[in-house]
A and B are shown apart, each in its own frame.
Chain A
Amino acid sequence: MPIVDFFVAGALAIAMAIMLARLFIGPTLYDRVLALNSFGTKTVLFLVVFALMVNRADAIDIAILYALLNFISTIAILKFFRYRSLEVALTRMERGEIAKKQAEEEQKT
């Protein structure tokens, strides 16, 4: 079975290299974000396969952490490039509350 793991890890490494190329040459920003997200998914798979290949099962915890972090970072990057700030509220209700607070502060001053 380690032979299959070896081939899978090699193929994942090739796919990661292709994703890195798209990340660097991508014409638009969204190509780059997409390539980054896909690269992260492949990194998780590579970590898992590599951990089982060298019999270090501890590294799978790192893969879980990386899977969560990858998703959050993709959403954060998209939010930042949409609003040019990470402080903007995402739901309409929160936006209304923030606008209300700002109006009250302006009335005070």
Chain B
Amino acid sequence: MSEFLLILDRGLDILSIAAMVAGVVFVLAGAIGVMRLPDFYTRMHAAGVTDTLGAELIMLGLILQAGWSALSLKLALIGLFIFLTSPTATHAVANAAYRAGLKPLLKRYAPDSEKDGGKA
């Protein structure tokens, strides 16, 4: 019986490490996307999409580490808040930018392609 519990514990550890590493990869990808992408709307996509998934995966890994406790409940609450508010905030920023008249970059490398009539 104790061997089974040990294996279960080890499995939970591995699952939590995998979730946290995947979450960190998503968070870093979002940060690099925000730095590298050419246009406000593409940056918003990188930040919004990867932040939500990365945060949720890190929270999941921490919950698996914490087990059944009040700590775990608080972590789940934070995860729920982030899951609800992050897409809402991203949508609000995008809506505000669009209403303010910020144009999306439609062509690839717009300043050059405008010279040759937008064919490129």
Contacts and interface: CB of A to CB of B under 8 A. Distances in A.
Interface of A: 1, 4, 7-8, 11-12, 14-15, 18-19, 21-22, 27-28, 30-31, 33-35, 37-38, 41-42, 44-45, 48-49, 52, 57, 60-61, 63-64, 67-68, 70-71, 74-75, 78, 81-82
A41 B82 contact: yes
Interface of B: 13, 16-17, 20-21, 23-24, 27-28, 30-32, 34-35, 40, 43-44, 47, 51, 55, 58-59, 62, 65-66, 71, 74-75, 77-78, 81-82, 85-86, 88-90, 92-93, 96-97, 99-100, 102
B31 A18 contact: yes
Given A7-B24, A78-B92, A28 B97 contact: yes
Contacts of A1: 13, 16-17, 65
B34 A22 contact: yes
Contact of A37 (B65, B66, B74, B93): B93
Given A8-B20, A48-B78, A28 B40 contact: yes
A82 B96 contact: yes
A41 B28 contact: no
A79 to B, nearest CB: 9
Contact of A52 (B27, B65, B96): B65
Contacts of A34: 34, 40, 43-44, 47, 90, 93
Contacts of B51: 38, 41-42
Contact of A12 (B27, B62, B100): B27
Given A41-B51, A48-B58, 18 more contacts: A1-B17, A8-B20, A14-B28, A15-B28, A18-B31, A18-B35, A19-B34, A22-B43, A30-B93, A34-B44, A37-B86, A37-B90, A38-B47, A48-B75, A70-B85, A71-B88, A78-B93, A82-B100
B22 to A, nearest CB: 11
A4 B62 CA distance: 11
